Amino acid sequence: MPTWTLHTEFKFDAAHLIEGYDGKCGRMHGHSYKVHISAESDKLNPSKYLEADDMVCDFKELKWAAKGSEKGGLDHSVLNEELPVNPTAERIAEFIYKETQQRIPDGIRLNVTVWETENSWVEYTKDHV
């Protein structure tokens, strides 16, 4: 069975604080986040931009978080105001994963990696049965 895997990377800048954190991360500060998303599928799909079954999903849908906060993304936002949870790197990756899943066809397996700094990152995925 054929498998296609899309990969894309993007960046966004945002501020946050980790509520309840005993240390400097408990104060408002910012990061230039880097995100890598892979989307794997055993079939090709249409998108809202292309009616034919010729893509796993549209790169535009994978990169939604790179848009400005006024356009529904995370760029130049305060993450505490955008996420329904405490914006740790782990929760940011989970949030991007869940929001991306809602924008793409069913059956696509996602893996989301978020770098908070050049040397610190987290990967989020779910078991696909």
Mean pLDDT of the chain: 96
Name the band, by pLDDT with cuts 50, 70 and 90, for residue 111. very high
Catalytic site residues? 25, 76, 116
Nearest to 108 by CA among 64, 52, 47, 21: 47
For residues 72 and 51, the answer to whether their CB atoms sit within 8 Å is no
- As a whole-number percent, the residues of the chain with pLDDT over 90 amount to 95
Question: Where do the domains of the chain lie, and which CATH numbers do they carry?
Answer: 4-125 (3.30.479.10)
In angstroms, rounded to a whole number, what is the distance separating the alpha carbons of residues 76 and 25?
Answer: 18
Instruction: Work out the angle at residue 100's Cα, subtended by the Cα atoms of residues 97 and 102, and round it to the nearest 5 degrees.
Output: 115
Overall average pLDDT of the 110-123 stretch: 97
Query: For residue 42, what are the CA distances in angstroms to 16, 62, 68, 88, 107?
Result: 37, 18, 32, 32, 8
Q: How far apart are the first and last CA of the chain?
A: 16
Cα–Cα dist 100/10, whole Å? 14
Q: pTM value?
A: 0.95
- pLDDT per residue as tens digits for the range 6-17: 999 999 999 999
